[in-house]
């Protein structure tokens, strides 16, 4: 078909016009694209660069090694043990099943563990290492390492896990660590990113818990480049963390083990405190438990066993338990009266076996009474009526003040869990807490450490140390942190009349050294080690007038939980006090029979820094003591878990 | 106008034709493809395989085909237009029945030696068909409703087939490319105004159809649109592509992070980094300077095509040149808009740079036609 030349020209003109129009539109769009590029790549470049870096760079924390805990002699109490585990990387293994089959022929691994590992591997990216078994014996690791060429993708890894070499002996003092839980995170105000690491171990109880910040150290970090799937491409840089500081306790682990072994079989607690420094040489509570169980993850059965035991093995009775101090409180009442000058040491008070106060009869432990009795005899024989009278003279507020001065009813700064405050009651306390007026009967009860008075074994030991020295002894549990000795606090004079104190100490001496003393049978016969002490027997039930008329039921005839608590406090050597000791045997019966012998054994063990010579004991008990020493030594030698319940 | 009408004295013959080729366009095509090779080398982590080497072979083959096509007189190709269109249409039908499904869409026919995407072929087939149609149609009838309906049918047939694959990107390219040729041929502007109004209506209809039994596009396409509107509401799903692409592009800055230093692509944060999203890698590694330079190269090709068309009195040749230029423009404009977050992700590759056989071959064949038109210009 021919087209007229005019048409051709028209067509060309029209196409050119429209082409230009379209060209302009295209140019506009290209301009818009260029503008967009400019705004993204030039103006917002920094923002996008930052986003790209965030994409690319991950920061992984490097957990620091936890600080170690030693006893005063450098014996390790809490260490980081190398813990071997077998890890598998799926993508390196090739045939996963085949490799695992070979592995199980080398190392005994339960099939369900293997199944769990396979499941986890399939759930995760192929390059993520998955732990197959934890806590593998060194022999097995050696086998795996030797056979490495046949086990592609299998890696033997070393980790650190907490171990307590003394096991149960130091469980209540040191406590244990465990994986950080949501509850921990909600409870503690701690921004440390380490806590965000899954299963990061933190101190749960005891020194591990109270000294957590010191022991934990500072996290290191590793900046790594990852790809879109999270695979680590390379490490960009690494900043090592700072290991936690080592802590040295004042505890003497040998003495601690001895005390735990000596308390075995009872529900009991004992504290040994240095009367010069306030150093706690042994803080024991029986029965106890193996803290290593908690680190590994305790089984439900074991947990229930510990929790349901009526002897409460998980409780650190030495600092958490509070008990009516019974007659061990009599020094407080006497000293309050002497200092208030309402009593002189030589004055006698008549004991008929009971005292009537505002219509209520308060009985002495000795029904027939002690007759006329002075301070010295009243302590030595532990007469109750004497103190009923003395307390009424001086009043409860002075007794309470003296108790607090001697460390009862005061929360001491000891880095252990749930340190109890105890109670030294006064009028104000009863008004504000009970909403009642103080009555004279309350004073009478308190005078012999019954009624509302509550003290922990730690407080009783401190009280004894302060009586022995007249100085404000403060307990110290941490000896050094990172090699730096921690200051000894307190130690200044309590401002008590030394004359009165000497009288009290002499009376306490006679408690265990005079034939008529309540603890004469638990005396120490070597002059260099003689001790001064006081027995205590505190009721946990009320004795009704009917029962008293019938004759008080003896402890042996009562169920365990209604028997009296047996208490004992002492310091030794008498001439130059070195240690103060407190012992409580829950529902142990009389203090002189159940608690004093334990106190004596502990004291001798502490003084001689090991088994004492048999000459320290009265001749009639030496044979039995020799047996006991052998038995306890065997127990200690057999390892710290001898005293473990469950 | 036929061969006889040419003043043959001025039409070059034999190897003299080589001198009359539109060399600037060839150089620009080679430069853009070269940038593509570099990027394919980079995204493979510094390796010629698996992408750069096959792409270079295809480029060589495509260039050879371009030159061969350029040597053949343009009137031969005009006579072939209807045949090319029909073959493409037949292949599109065939893919409907025998096609290979990949990435959720049925797009390829496996020819044994290569995978052919008939929808790519149709892009030239349609432009050729429309150019030939308007060359044949007397000028006076161009805006007559009946003669407007005919090219609409030419456009609608392949578009519907491509939509069912489904391939939204190519459908848009076909409609826009075809519409552009109609506009260039002089169809009255009122038709285009009507279409724009209707288009807006259609978009509304598409959105209205969501969740109903007559839903017009697939759910994943809806999601892509949603994500385009607000990428942050699905940062780990569909929005991930756009967000990561923008991060890559933006983090390039002025001069880029350096060849093979782009962390976004090297660490696999970029999706489809060797195909649809390859521009983001280029922008990340060569920065604004590199990205803008590539845009300028593309724009220059358009400029040279328009210049060639405006000096060509042959109606078929001019319309064909402009139609190819428009298709080429739509390719890179849609792709760049998509990766820069200006348009939804519709799956359009970056011409000559993205890895892909059919697209590169088809584009070079199309430029062969442009060259033929240029060489055989009535002088």
A456 to chain B, minimum CA–CA distance in Å? 59
Cis peptide before A95 (omega within 30 of 0): no
* Cβ neighbours of B232 in A, within 8 Å: none
Long-range interactions of A438-441: CB distance < 8 A, separation 24+: A438/A396, A439/A358, A440/A357, A440/A358, A440/A392, A441/A357, A441/A358, A441/A360, A441/A362
A19·B336 Cβ contact <8 A: no
* Cβ neighbours of A27 in B, within 8 Å: 299
Question: From the candidates B251, B277, B303, B334, which should be mutated to test the interface with A, based on the most A CB atoms within 10 A?
Answer: B251
Of A10, A33, A45, Cβ closest to residue B295: A33
- Give Cα separations from B147 to A377, B82, B144, B150, B154 (angstroms): 134, 17, 5, 5, 11
Please, are residues B322 and B369 in contact by the beta-carbon 8 Å criterion? no
B273 to chain A, minimum CA–CA distance in Å? 13
* Pick from A73-77, A636-640, B55-59, B316-320: least confident: A636-640
Is the dihedral angle over the CA atoms A258, A262, A263, A264 positive or is it negative? positive
> What's the confidence (pLDDT) of residue A201?
87
Q: Which residues of A carry out catalysis?
A: 327
> Which residue is associated with the tokens 């050729």?
B128
Enumerate residues 222 to 251 of chain A having a beta carbon within 8 A of any beta carbon in chain B. Answer: 225-229, 233
Q: What are phi and psi of A104, to 5 degrees?
A: -70, -20
Residue B206 in 3-state DSSP? Answer: helix
Asked if domains A83-162 and A253-643 share a fold, the reply is no
Q: How confident is the model at residue A646 (pLDDT cuts 50, 70, 90)?
A: very low
Q: How many residues make up chain A in this entry?
A: 646
Write the DSSP symbol of residue A89: E
Tokens of A298: 């305790």
B267·A233 Cβ contact <8 A: yes
Q: Return the closest-CA partner of residue B265 out of B256, A483, B296.
A: B256
Of B139, B184, B246, Cβ closest to residue A7: B139
CATH topology for A83-162? Ribosomal Protein L30; Chain: A, (3.30.1390)
Strands A76-89 and A154-163: antiparallel
* Cβ neighbours of A2 in B, within 8 Å: 1-2, 5
pLDDT tens digits, residue range A596-643? Answer: 999 999 999 999 999 999 999 999 999 999 999 999 988 887 764 444
Average pLDDT over residues A442-447: 94
* Cβ neighbours of B310 in A, within 8 Å: 15-16, 19-20
Is the dihedral angle over the CA atoms B199, B202, B203, B204 positive or is it negative? positive
Strands A247-249 and A69-70: parallel
Instruction: Give CA–CA dist A275/B215, Å, rounded.
Output: 90
Tokens of A308: 């349901």
A8·B298 Cβ contact <8 A: no
Nearest CA in chain B to A6: B139
Q: Return the closest-CA partner of residue A570 out of A519, A616, A617.
A: A519
Q: Return the closest-CA partner of residue B179 out of B200, B162, B194, B164.
A: B194
Instruction: Give CA–CA dist A185/A379, Å, rounded.
Output: 52
pLDDT tens digits, residue range B326-349? Answer: 999 999 999 999 888 888 777 788
B174 to chain A, minimum CA–CA distance in Å? 17
Please, are residues A396 and A430 in contact by the beta-carbon 8 Å criterion? no
A18·B313 Cβ contact <8 A: no
Q: How confident is the model at residue B156 (pLDDT cuts 50, 70, 90)?
A: very high
What are the sequence ranges of the domains in chain A?
A: 83-162, 253-643
Instruction: Give CA–CA dist B309/A19, Å, rounded.
Output: 8
Q: What are phi and psi of A101, to 5 degrees?
A: -60, -45
* Cβ neighbours of A29 in B, within 8 Å: 329, 333
Question: From the candidates A7, A12, A17, A19, which should be mutated to test the interface with B, based on the most B CB atoms within 10 A?
Answer: A19
Instruction: Give CA–CA dist B288/B280, Å, rounded.
Output: 11
Strands A57-62 and A220-226: antiparallel
Question: From the candidates A7, A32, A33, which should be mutated to test the interface with B, based on the most B CB atoms within 10 A?
Answer: A33
> Which residue is associated with the tokens 């030698």?
A637
Q: Identify the residue with better confidence: A547 or A264.
A: A264
Number of residue pairs across A and B with CB atoms under 8 Å? 150
Q: How confident is the model at residue A5 (pLDDT cuts 50, 70, 90)?
A: low
Instruction: Give CA–CA dist B359/B121, Å, rounded.
Output: 8
A15 touches chain B (CB under 8 A): yes
A116 to chain B, minimum CA–CA distance in Å? 29
Instruction: Give CA–CA dist B248/B243, Å, rounded.
Output: 9
A31 touches chain B (CB under 8 A): no
A5 to chain B, minimum CA–CA distance in Å? 9
Q: Return the closest-CA partner of residue A568 out of A284, A321, A320, A326.
A: A326
Question: From the candidates B135, B263, B324, which should be mutated to test the interface with A, based on the most A CB atoms within 10 A?
Answer: B263
| Most confident region among A172-181, A351-360, B25-34 by mean pLDDT | B25-34
Of B1, B267, B292, Cβ closest to residue A56: B267
Please, are residues B308 and B322 in contact by the beta-carbon 8 Å criterion? no
Q: Return the closest-CA partner of residue A373 out of A346, A396, A393.
A: A346
Instruction: Give CA–CA dist A504/A468, Å, rounded.
Output: 9
Percent of residues, chain A, with pLDDT higher than 70: 98
Instruction: Give CA–CA dist A95/A294, Å, rounded.
Output: 37
Q: Residue B99 pLDDT > 70, yes or no?
A: no
pLDDT tens digits, residue range A519-554? Answer: 999 999 999 999 999 999 998 888 888 888 887 888
A22·B136 Cβ contact <8 A: no
* Cβ neighbours of A18 in B, within 8 Å: 183-186
> What's the confidence (pLDDT) of residue B94?
85
- Give Cα separations from A602 to A31, A317, A457 (angstroms): 94, 17, 14
Dihedral of the alpha carbons of A345, A351, A353, A355, in degrees to the nearest 10 = -90
Instruction: Give CA–CA dist B319/B182, Å, rounded.
Output: 9
Domain A253-643, CATH homologous superfamily name and number: DD-peptidase/beta-lactamase superfamily (3.40.710.10)
């Amino acid at each position: 078909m021919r087209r007229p030349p005019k048409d051709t020209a028209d067509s060309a003109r029209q196409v050119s016009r429209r082409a230009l129009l379209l060209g302009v539109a295209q140019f506009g769009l290209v301009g818009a694209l260029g503008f967009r590029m400019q705004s993204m790549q030039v103006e917002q470049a920094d923002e996008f660069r930052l986003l790209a870096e965030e994409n690319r760079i991950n920061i992984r924390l490097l957990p620091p090694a936890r600080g170690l805990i030693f006893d005063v002699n450098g014996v390790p109490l809490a260490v980081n043990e190398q813990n071997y585990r077998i890890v598998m990387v799926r993508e390196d293994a090739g045939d996963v099943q085949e490799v695992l089959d070979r592995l199980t022929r080398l190392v005994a691994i339960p099939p369900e563990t293997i199944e769990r590992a396979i499941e986890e591997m399939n759930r995760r990216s192929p390059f993520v290492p998955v732990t197959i078994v934890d806590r593998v014996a060194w022999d097995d690791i050696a086998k795996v390492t030797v056979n490495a060429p046949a086990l592609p993708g299998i890696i033997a890894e070393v980790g650190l896990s907490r171990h307590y070499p003394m096991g149960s002996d130091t469980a209540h003092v040191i406590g244990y660590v465990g994986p950080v839980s949501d509850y921990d995170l909600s409870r503690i105000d701690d921004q440390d990113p380490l806590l965000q690491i899954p299963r990061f171990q933190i101190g749960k109880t005891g020194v591990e818990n109270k000294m957590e910040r010191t022991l934990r150290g500072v996290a290191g970090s590793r900046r790594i480049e990852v790809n879109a799937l999270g695979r680590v491409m390379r490490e960009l840089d690494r900043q090592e963390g700072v290991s936690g500081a080592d802590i040295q306790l004042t505890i003497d682990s040998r003495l601690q083990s001895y005390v735990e072994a000596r308390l075995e079989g009872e529900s009991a607690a004992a504290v040994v405190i240095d009367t010069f420094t306030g150093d706690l040489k042994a803080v024991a509570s029986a029965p106890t438990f193996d803290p290593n169980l908690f680190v590994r993850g305790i089984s439900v059965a074991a947990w229930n066993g510990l929790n349901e035991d009526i002897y409460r093995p998980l409780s650190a009775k030495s600092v958490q338990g509070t008990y009516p101090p019974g007659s061990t409180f009599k020094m407080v009442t006497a000293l309050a009266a002497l200092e208030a000058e309402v009593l002189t040491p030589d004055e006698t008070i008549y004991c008929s076996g009971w005292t009537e106060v505002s219509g209520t009869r308060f009985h002495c432990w000795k029904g027939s009474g002690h007759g006329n009795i002075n301070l010295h005899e009243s302590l030595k024989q532990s007469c109750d009526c004497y103190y009923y009278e003395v307390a009424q003279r001086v009043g409860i507020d002075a007794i309470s003040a003296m108790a607090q001065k001697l460390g009862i009813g005061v929360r001491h700064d000891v880095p252990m869990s749930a340190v109890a405050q105890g109670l030294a009651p006064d009028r104000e306390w009863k008004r504000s807490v009970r909403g009642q007026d103080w009555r004279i009967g309350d004073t009478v009860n308190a005078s012999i450490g019954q009624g509302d008075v509550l003290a922990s074994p730690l407080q009783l030991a401190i009280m004894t140390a302060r009586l022995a020295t007249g100085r404000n002894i403060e307990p110290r549990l941490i000896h050094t942190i990172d090699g730096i000795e921690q200051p000894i606090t307190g130690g200044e004079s309590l401002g008590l009349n030394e004359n009165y104190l000497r009288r009290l100490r002499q009376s306490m001496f006679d408690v265990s050294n005079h034939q008529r003393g309540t603890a004469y049978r638990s005396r120490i016969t070597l002059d260099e080690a003689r001790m001064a002490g006081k027995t205590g027997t505190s009721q946990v039930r009320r004795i009704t007038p009917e029962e008293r008329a019938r004759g008080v039921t003896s402890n042996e005839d009562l169920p365990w939980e209604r028997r009296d608590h047996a208490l004992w406090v002492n310091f030794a050597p008498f001439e130059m006090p070195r240690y103060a000791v407190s012992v409580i045997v829950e529902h142990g019966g009389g203090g002189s029979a159940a608690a004093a012998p334990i106190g004596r054994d502990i004291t001798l063990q502490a003084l001689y820094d090991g088994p004492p010579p048999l000459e320290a004991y009265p001749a009639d008990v030496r044979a039995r003591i020799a047996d006991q020493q052998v038995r306890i030594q065997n127990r200690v030698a057999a390892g710290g878990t001898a005293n473990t319940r469950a | 106008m036929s061969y006889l009408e040419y003043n043959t004295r001025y039409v070059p013959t034999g190897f003299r034709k080589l001198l009359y080729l539109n060399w600037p366009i060839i150089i620009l095509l080679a430069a853009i493809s070269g940038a593509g090779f570099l990027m394919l080398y980079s995204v493979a982590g510094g390796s010629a395989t698996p992408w750069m080497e096959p792409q270079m072979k295809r480029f060589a083959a495509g260039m050879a085909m371009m030159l061969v096509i350029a040597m053949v007189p343009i009137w031969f190709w005009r006579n072939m237009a209807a045949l090319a269109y029909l073959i493409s249409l037949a292949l599109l039908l065939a893919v409907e029945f025998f096609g290979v499904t990949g990435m959720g869409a049925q797009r390829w026919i496996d020819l044994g030696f290569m995978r052919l995407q008939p929808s790519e072929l149709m892009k030239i087939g349609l432009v050729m068909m429309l150019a030939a149609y308007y060359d044949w149609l007397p000028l006076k009838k161009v805006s007559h409703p009946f003669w407007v309906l005919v090219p609409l049918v030419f456009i609608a047939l392949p578009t519907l087939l491509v939509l069912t694959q489904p391939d939204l990107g190519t459908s848009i390219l076909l409609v826009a490319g075809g519409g552009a040729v109609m506009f260039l041929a002089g169809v009255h502007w009122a038709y285009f105004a009507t279409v724009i109004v209707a288009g807006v209506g259609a978009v509304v209809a598409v959105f209205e159809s969501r969740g109903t039994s007559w839903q017009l596009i697939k759910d994943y396409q809806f999601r892509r649109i949603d994500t385009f509107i607000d990428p942050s509401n699905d940062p780990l799903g569909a929005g991930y592509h756009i967000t990561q692409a923008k991060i890559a592009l933006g983090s390039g800055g002025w001069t880029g992070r350096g060849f093979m230093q782009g962390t976004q692509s090297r660490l696999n944060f970029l999706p489809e980094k060797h195909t649809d999203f390859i521009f983001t890698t280029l922008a990340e590694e060569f920065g604004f300077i590199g990205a803008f330079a590539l845009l300028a190269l593309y724009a220059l090709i358009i400029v040279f095509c328009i210049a060639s068309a405006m000096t060509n009195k042959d109606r078929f040749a001019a319309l064909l040149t402009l139609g190819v230029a428009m298709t080429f423009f739509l390719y890179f404009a849609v792709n760049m808009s998509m990766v820069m977050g200006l348009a939804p992700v519709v799956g359009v590759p970056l011409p000559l740079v993205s890895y892909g056989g059919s697209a590169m071959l088809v584009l070079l064949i199309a430029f062969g036609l442009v060259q033929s038109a240029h060489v055989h210009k009535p002088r």
